[in-house]
Chains A and B, each alone.
Chain A
Amino acid sequence: MSDATLLASQVGYGLRGFVRNARAMVFTVVMPVVLLLLFNAIFSGSTTFQGSEVSAANYFTPGIIAYSIMLSGYSGLLISVVTARERGIIKRFRGTPMPAWIYLAALILQSIVTVAVTVAVLVGMGVVFYHLRLDVQSLIGLVVYTLLGTATMCAIGLALTRVATTADSASAIGPFSTVSLAFVSGVFIPVSQLPAWLRDLGRLFPLAHLANGLQSAFIEHHSTGLSAEDVGVLAIWCVVAAVVAVRTFRWEPQGR
């Protein structure tokens, strides 16, 4: 079996476990869908995005897509890797001839697949129910931001497995940081309504840029939404976190 086939089979194996894991499914797929329905039911008016008026639906849908990418790429991956490590499952993989990179690459690809499915569902709902405009440019923006955003979130999730040493701490750190950042990144509350210092704080982290990028792609006419700042900040986070992850990753259960 070639490494590529092995990688594909490992991704398939991981996904099979994922769909059987009710908690993971609820947190990464069901929750964003429910949030999208709730936000659009609650906020029917309009808000401002970069000075112009947009409908709440058009504002919140891309934000929740960004949120779902963080939930599954970052929080979901962090929890699943730390839990598997704590149970000695990763150590067992480590004792087989399967190269370490295949194991990690499979986890990342698995996240990309779950993100892709979730994003497709959210975009589909947005187009069908909430007048989300999908054209060539917004599609390009969506694909680029989804891929870059997922890679960034996965890298940060893997880097944090060094800090989150137990499944308990990962289950606290992952969702808590995701929800906290969502409030200051234009996901739950439009950034135009945030105090300046909170908005600036949010912009230090990748979620604000992922949300802003996706919002630009969907809201601005004939725009991919690809800005140097949003793409740049995401890329910097991605590279730094990937380097930290590769250098500090631990395969064996960490002290409780």
Chain B
Amino acid sequence: MAMTEPGPPAIEVRGLRKSYDGVERVHAIDFTVAKGEIFGLLGTNGAGKTTTIEILEGYRPRDHGEVTVLGADPSHPTRAWRERIGIVLQESELDPLYTVRETVTQFGRYFSEQADVDATLARVGLTAKADERIGRLSGGQKRAVDVALGLIGRPELLFLDEPSTGLDPAARREMWATISDLCDAGTTILLTTHYMDEAQHLADRLVILRAGDVVGSGTTAELSAGDGDTAVVTFLLDQPAGLSTVASSLSATPSIEDGAVRLVSTAPQRDLYQLLQWAEGAGVELRGLEVDRPTLDDIFLRLTSTDDAGDSAAGS
């Protein structure tokens, strides 16, 4: 995890709003990214992550609100400001006809201060592929080239829009290691993702967006604590159908899959009492009964779900 530096923040967003075709996609969101941290912008598809990050990157104007990125207003990007930021877009192909080294070298020329090409390739794990044409790389390797292009100008601030989407687990782990190393080297990183585990692994702090609203913010620990007394109750039932007699009196609807029951309870003490009482009365055994703190995935699902009562419907 990063050391945040004192002084003005890298990014400050206050009351940011953005509409497309008359529909507001981002509703007055606020957040601050300190220098030196990895900040996560988490949300499902369509939550407004890319809209927000592209406003900060200087690609599109905002409708309302105050936005400062490295001390400047990104709606009027200058060359000097662009020198200080690195961008990894969510969807941007690379010309397949060039080699990795040619591409990274050429992009380096756009910046007055550039990183060493070989060192940059080593950083993203592409040393062995340096002279390979981009058209012959795997998805994970192409994404690593994207990151190398984001880094070649030695940015103070790096934007990463869903850097690991579509990567296999091994490539994701490598991407995570690269991002952690960057942060250790002092680069501020704004990361969007729809993977909770990615945010949990990388981000010092994060905001969770749902349909253009901030529905949660803080460190991952704060988000967990902010979930109050929520607990996840799991157990196995031989005849899950019988559960329906008690389900209606629980704080949330349990989900049932192959006899495994899962309840994200907002009132664990009362729910457990109900369940145990029912089980004793009906002569049923709750095998493998466990009561756990919710994972960030549970919190994320609960916060981003439009159904406020719980995260999933009962099923069998």
Tell me the A residues contacting B by CB distance below 8 Å.
Answer: 1, 6, 9-10, 13, 16-17, 20-21, 84, 87-89, 91-99, 252
In the complex, A205→B97 CA distance in Å?
Answer: 35
Among candidates B57, B91, B106, B110, residue contacting A97 with C-beta atoms closer than 8 Å: B110
Contacts A91-B59, A92-B87 aside, 8 further interface pairs with beta carbons under 8 A come to A16-B98, A16-B102, A92-B89, A95-B89, A97-B79, A98-B110, A99-B79, A252-B59
- In the assembled complex, B83 has its CB within 8 A of some CB on chain A: yes
Please, which residues of chain B bring their CB within 8 A of the CB of A20?
97-98
Residue pairs across A and B with Cβ atoms less than 8 A apart, 13 shown, are A1-B109, A6-B109, A13-B102, A21-B97, A88-B89, A91-B59, A91-B89, A92-B87, A95-B57, A95-B82, A96-B82, A97-B79, A97-B80
Do A91 and B92 contact each other (CB < 8 Å), given the known contacts A13-B102, A13-B106?
yes
Do A89 and B59 contact each other (CB < 8 Å), given the known contacts A13-B102, A96-B111?
no
Chain B residue nearest to A102 in the complex (CB)? B110
- In the assembled complex, B308 has its CB within 8 A of some CB on chain A: no
Please, which residues of chain A bring their CB within 8 A of the CB of B98?
13, 16-17, 20
**Min CB–CB distance A154 → chain B (angstroms):** 20
**Min CB–CB distance B130 → chain A (angstroms):** 16
In the complex, A94→B87 CA distance in Å?
Answer: 10
Q: Which parts of B88-120 form the interface with A (CB within 8 Å)?
A: 89, 91-95, 97-98, 102, 106-107, 109-112
Q: Is the CB of A88 within 8 A of B91?
A: yes
Among candidates B92, B102, B112, B153, residue contacting A89 with C-beta atoms closer than 8 Å: B92
Chain B residue nearest to A253 in the complex (CB)? B91
Interface residues of B toward A: which range? 20 to 34
- In the assembled complex, B149 has its CB within 8 A of some CB on chain A: yes
Please, which residues of chain A bring their CB within 8 A of the CB of B80?
97
In the complex, A152→B95 CA distance in Å?
Answer: 27
In the complex, A21→B80 CA distance in Å?
Answer: 34
Q: Is the CB of A96 within 8 A of B110?
A: yes
Please, which residues of chain B bring their CB within 8 A of the CB of A93?
110
Count of CB-CB pairs between chains A and B under 8 Å: 62
Q: Is the CB of B87 within 8 A of A95?
A: yes
Among candidates B89, B92, B109, residue contacting A9 with C-beta atoms closer than 8 Å: B109
Most buried by B among A1, A88, A92, A252: A92
Q: Is the CB of B111 within 8 A of A95?
A: no
Chain B residue nearest to A103 in the complex (CB)? B110
Please, which residues of chain A bring their CB within 8 A of the CB of B153?
96-97
Please, which residues of chain B bring their CB within 8 A of the CB of A87?
92-93, 95
Please, which residues of chain A bring their CB within 8 A of the CB of B91?
88
Please, which residues of chain A bring their CB within 8 A of the CB of B83?
97
**Min CB–CB distance A18 → chain B (angstroms):** 9
Q: Is the CB of B92 within 8 A of A92?
A: yes
Chain B residue nearest to A93 in the complex (CB)? B110
Please, which residues of chain B bring their CB within 8 A of the CB of A95?
57-59, 82, 87, 89
In the complex, A13→B106 CA distance in Å?
Answer: 7
In the complex, A98→B87 CA distance in Å?
Answer: 14
Q: Is the CB of A1 within 8 A of B89?
A: no
Do A89 and B95 contact each other (CB < 8 Å), given the known contacts A95-B82, A97-B82, A99-B79?
yes
**Min CB–CB distance B72 → chain A (angstroms):** 13
Please, which residues of chain A bring their CB within 8 A of the CB of B112?
1, 97
Please, which residues of chain B bring their CB within 8 A of the CB of A96?
82, 107, 110-111, 153
Q: Is the CB of A97 within 8 A of B59?
A: no
Among candidates B57, B79, B93, residue contacting A88 with C-beta atoms closer than 8 Å: B93
In the complex, A93→B109 CA distance in Å?
Answer: 12
**Min CB–CB distance A116 → chain B (angstroms):** 22
In the complex, A89→B110 CA distance in Å?
Answer: 15
Please, which residues of chain B bring their CB within 8 A of the CB of A6?
109-110
Please, which residues of chain A bring their CB within 8 A of the CB of B94?
89
In the complex, A15→B48 CA distance in Å?
Answer: 39
Please, which residues of chain A bring their CB within 8 A of the CB of B79?
97, 99
Please, which residues of chain A bring their CB within 8 A of the CB of B97?
17, 20-21
